[in-house]
């Protein structure tokens, strides 16, 4: 049953000049740890090979029966706890591994969190999904549609990976992260700054799953249902696009590269992060990475990295932060903010 108080909130329909401010943060990883040695025993690879090319030592993988909704609910719950009282008026779930093709998973997440009757929908921009989700949540607040928006990035990306492909198995893990956005002022700590979003659909086949959609629902070749990645070409595009996008939001905000205290990028590959930092002229300690312990968790990677960087003291209130991502689609984007005093739930 819908929350009767929600339908009475007519002021949500009035456009607002308020900014979207991060007020809560949470993340969740499946308990099962899969180290490089476990993968090396099954595939023709080694711990040294994986580490040297990706920077990954281990990743988390869901147990059978655990779904994207399950991960999203736990991360969302923790973000709501972090934000305190108030709940949320909308849920935006960034994922490319929804529990089923139809319907979207976000309404189930909202219901499981007790947010009955609120707007809830999925955003699929793959590894760029969290940045796209933040932009969507900020738009809902700016339009006066919602005052508090729960933005979740969650993926069971291992479900898309060919278990016999040594090029992709070591890279991807599962997880979820979330932030609670509230309406606030643009000069507050935590207020999201400008966004820069892009796509390039003609290059979709560089990183895609061919079958399973309306165009090719059932393929006789089981490999068509798994992720195919042209790694070297994707690497070049990711480095260039993430750096370009970061420069664009810096220019929009009037910041200089030297103003950045922390760059929280999509944790795709340590080499991509290092190359992007070099192209931007960032010091090594500015580009944050937790990929060694979690791998590439797709849309969940940035909010998980935010939570981890707060927990380990790397990210402090007042830090000037740029967030950037690149993913399948192709899609990429960035935003920035001054980090608030938020404790992960």
Positions annotated as catalytic residues are 127, 266, 296
CA atoms in the 13 A half-sphere facing the CB of 200: 13
> What φ, ψ does residue 83 adopt, rounded to 5°?
-80, -15
DSSP helix/strand/coil, 30: coil
Closest CA to 304 of 130, 142, 158: 130
Burial string for 98-130 (b: 16+ CB within 10 Å, else e) reads: bbeeeebbbbbbbbebebeebbbebbbbbbbbb
Are residues 128 and 335 in contact, defined by beta-carbon separation less than 8 angstroms? no
Are residues 266 and 326 in contact, defined by beta-carbon separation less than 8 angstroms? yes
């Amino acid at each position: 049953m819908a929350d009767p108080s929600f339908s009475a909130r007519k002021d949500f329909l009035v456009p607002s000049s308020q900014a979207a401010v991060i007020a809560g943060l949470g993340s969740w990883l499946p308990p099962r740890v899969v180290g490089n040695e476990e993968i090396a025993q099954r595939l023709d690879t080694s711990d040294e090979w994986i580490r040297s090319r990706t920077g990954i030592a281990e990743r988390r993988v869901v147990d059978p029966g655990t779904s994207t909704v399950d991960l999203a609910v736990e991360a969302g719950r923790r973000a709501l706890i972090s934000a305190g009282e108030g709940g949320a008026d909308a849920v935006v779930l960034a994922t490319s591994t929804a529990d089923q093709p139809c319907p979207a998973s976000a309404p189930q997440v909202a219901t499981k969190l007790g947010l009955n009757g609120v707007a809830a929908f999925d955003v699929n921009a793959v590894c760029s999904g969290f940045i796209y989700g933040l932009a969507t949540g900020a738009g809902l607040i700016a339009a006066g549609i919602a005052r508090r928006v729960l933005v979740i990035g969650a993926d069971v990306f291992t479900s898309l990976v060919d278990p016999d492909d040594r090029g992709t198995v070591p890279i991807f893990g599962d997880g979820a992260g979330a932030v609670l956005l509230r309406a606030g002022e643009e000069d507050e700590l935590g207020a999201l700054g400008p966004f820069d979003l892009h796509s390039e659909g003609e290059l979709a086949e560089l990183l895609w799953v061919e079958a399973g959609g309306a165009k090719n629902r059932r393929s006789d070749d089981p490999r068509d249902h798994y992720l195919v990645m042209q790694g070297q070409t994707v690497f070049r595009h990711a480095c260039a696009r993430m750096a370009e996008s970061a420069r664009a939001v810096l220019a929009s905000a009037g910041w200089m590269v030297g103003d950045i205290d922390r760059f929280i990028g999509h944790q795709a590959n340590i080499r991509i992060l290092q190359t992007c930092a070099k192209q931007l002229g960032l010091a090594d300690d500015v580009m944050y990475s937790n990929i060694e312990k979690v791998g590439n968790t797709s849309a969940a990677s940035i909010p998980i990295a935010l939570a981890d960087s707060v927990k380990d003291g790397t990210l402090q209130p007042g830090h000037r932060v740029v967030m950037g991502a690149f993913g399948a689609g192709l899609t990429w984007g960035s935003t920035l903010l001054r980090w608030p005093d938020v404790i992960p739930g």
